[in-house]
A and B are shown apart, each in its own frame.
Chain A
Amino acid sequence: MVNKKCNNLIFDVGARKLNISALTIFRLSIFLFTFCILCFMFYDSVFASVLYLSPSSQKVYLDESFIVEVKLDTEGRDINAVDAKIRFPDTLKVIDISEGGSILRLWPEKPVIDKNIISFTGGMPNGFIGEGLILKITFRPLKESVGVRKVSFVQDLSKVLLNDGKGTEDEVEFKEGSYEIIKKPQELPIIFSETHPDQNKWYRESTLKLYWDFEENALYSYILTHNPLEEPDDISEMTGTELKEKGYIEYNDLKDGIYYFHLKKAILNEQKLEWTQKTTFKIMIDCEAPEEFMPEVDKSPSMFNGQYFLSFSTQDAVSGLDHYEVLEGKNIQDNMGGWRLATSPYLLEDQTLESIIKVKAVDKAGNERIVEVLPKKRLSFFRLAVLGIISLGIFWWIVRRFKKQKI
């Protein structure tokens, strides 16, 4: 109901009436309009893609390696390419860079290191919306280098591109990581593994056996987790059924992935349990071969002087691809040696296309996927023989039938 005399609006809200002046409504309208304009102006920056490092902070012992994941959150935008540079300090050394499990499926430039900067360019066909892993970087602090170490993106040289068919750059927010390197306390238990001895190596073994230097008068709390920051609780595990014997634990049928076995020790001191800081043992398991793929043979006048080349690409969901190898041979059973390290595009040795081509993709755990390409020109003797027999059989049947009908 509008009270025209007073230029006020009177609303019936239940049993109450709200008397709002026209001036108030005008002011409210202006405010809402301005707010909408501001939202529109800052929409892009508020909802820009985010390139970040995970964990964003961590305490790391001096003699231990740690993994930093490079991640992308598209904030609802459709992204199809990332071109980035990551800077790290002199006091850290890169042990490994893994593309395993990355949302980027094709890499025009695989990660390389040059003067403390990791550079890479990768993309995902048909785009990606959401949050996902790009890379896993394993760092190790250099000796005697305690302190806070920052790892960050080189912002003016890093970009994220929209899946719009035009190569448009998206607004990007960058978040760096901060890692505190500290000396390892001496009283911590020492953990080692019979099945996965090297913490920086991938293993094709799903049974994990862990040992630590057990002390009779000590209590232990531990946890096996995918989270590097998780802490065991302050409850002793000594009564658990997992322990085969003191200072030894076994896990069976573990799924692929990176695990952290966190362990801490407690000693009774004046009837009070004192728990130490945790110590961690990292385990990396990958039992799965790289994904299926189909190489293709082609030629282009502008490449390799028009000679035939092989194109191939696949991914590994866990540890990441290590390398490809190619074997060309005329004998289908020929798999003894002759494998050559290869990258795509690969110039074929046999330009007559009469050889069988095998491509092997090997991941960082040593799992292999071998695929075979039969060039179009090649027909095996066996297939020719089968075709010949069938053709003869058909011909004989036709002749016989003809004779019968003639009679």
Chain B
Amino acid sequence: MKVKIDYKEVFLYRNKKIIVLILILFVFLIFPFSQGYSQLSQNLDISVETIIGAPSPPPQPQAPQIFTPGGIYPLTKVIFKGRAYPDAFLTLLKNGEVAGTFFAEDSGIFEKEISGLENGRYSFSIFAEDIDGRRSPSVEFALDILKWTKTTISGISIPPTISVYPTKVERREVINIIGYGFPDSEIHIFISPGQIVKKTSVSSDGRWNYELDTSFLKEGEYVLKARALFEDGRQSECSQILSFSVVPSGAYSCWGADLNLDGRVNVVDFSILLYFWNNVEPANWCADINADRVVDVFDFSIMMYSWTD
């Protein structure tokens, strides 16, 4: 008589206690002890540590403390970690009010800690400003905070900044799309209508740019936005949504220093230049006569050269 032995069942029977312990441990690792976090717009990593010394919560392993003359007082901390752009200026808001401002490192990484929070539900948001002054959309999330815990939120990815210049071109002209993102990430630019996707990469200093040749675009209004894709496969939320127009050839063009297109270069054009003086990417980009994104003495010099009366 042959007896067929199921070695799996034997193994399970003999090691059932150990297996149960492993399963329990597995459950605790997957669902760490934390008091609620919700409404995350990104795949954020959150960990919570409970601090010892609290009068009522159950005892936990060692946690950060501060020492005062009156005794030891544990701190409630929230730490924010993530990616922005080199030397970006970040603003952290708590329940709509500024909780802190800080700079990202020159690698684009940032870390910010706030403390002294009470029990409760908090809405946090972070946005960044690049070194050219462009602002990103905010990354928002809500947290339930327990006192005497240290909550770390990592993996925050600030959307890239973006600007478009000029915003109105004739067909076949080039539109410059520029901004800042996390170094060495890939930027995907989405243009609609037309479901057009263009890609470019972020340089080590955080800057990215794309020259969009409008030859393939029909005349009309377009919107665009950008998203960063990181090496670890994560991606950011979308940037600000901007618009631009493509007009027929000859419909809209700059006539050098003749800013009001009256065939003369005179005090009226000088007035228009003054109106946009020192503006970066002026609303009337014709005032930026040499197309270097700013209205300054170089544009003024070109106007003086072209003066008619």
Contact = CB atoms under 8 A, between A and B. Distances in A.
Instruction: Check if A and B associate.
Output: yes
Interface of A: 80-81, 83, 106, 108-109, 121, 123-127, 159, 161-167, 295-296, 298, 300-303, 309, 311-313, 344-345
Nearest to A161: B301
Given A80-B301, A81-B300, A165-B306, A108 B267 contact: no
B244 to A, nearest CB: 16
A309 B267 CA distance: 12
B307 interface: yes
Given A124-B304, A298-B260, A108 B297 contact: yes
- 8 tightest A-B CB contacts, nearest first: A125-B307, A167-B298, A302-B284, A311-B271, A80-B304, A345-B271, A161-B301, A81-B301
Interface stretch (B149-157, B204-212, B272-280): B272-280
B297 A344 contact: no
Contacts of A165: 302, 305-306
A79 B283 CA distance: 29
A300 B297 contact: no
A78 to B, nearest CB: 9
Contact of A163 (B284, B290, B305): B305
A162 B282 CA distance: 24
A166 B306 CA distance: 11
Chain B CB count within 10 A is highest, among A106, A108, A124, A166, for A108
Contacts of A159: 297
B268 interface: yes
B304 A163 contact: yes
A167 B270 contact: no
20 contacts: A81-B297, A81-B301, A108-B274, A124-B304, A125-B307, A126-B305, A127-B304, A127-B305, A161-B298, A163-B304, A164-B305, A166-B290, A296-B268, A300-B272, A301-B284, A303-B284, A309-B271, A312-B267, A345-B272, A345-B275
B275 to A, nearest CB: 5
A118 B233 CA distance: 54
Interface string B227-268: 000000000000000000000000000000001101000111
B interface bracket (residues with beta carbon within 8 Å of A): 20 to 34
A300 B284 CA distance: 9
* Most chain A beta-carbon neighbours within 10 Å: one of B299, B300, B307: B300
A300 B268 CA distance: 10
Nearest to B286: A302
B237 to A, nearest CB: 32
Nearest to B275: A303
Given A108-B297, A121-B297, A344 B271 contact: yes
Nearest to B273: A108
Given A126-B307, A163-B305, A303-B284, A108 B300 contact: yes
A301 B287 CA distance: 13
Contacts of B273: 108
Interface string B170-199: 000000000000000000000000000000
A303 B272 contact: yes
A164 B301 CA distance: 8
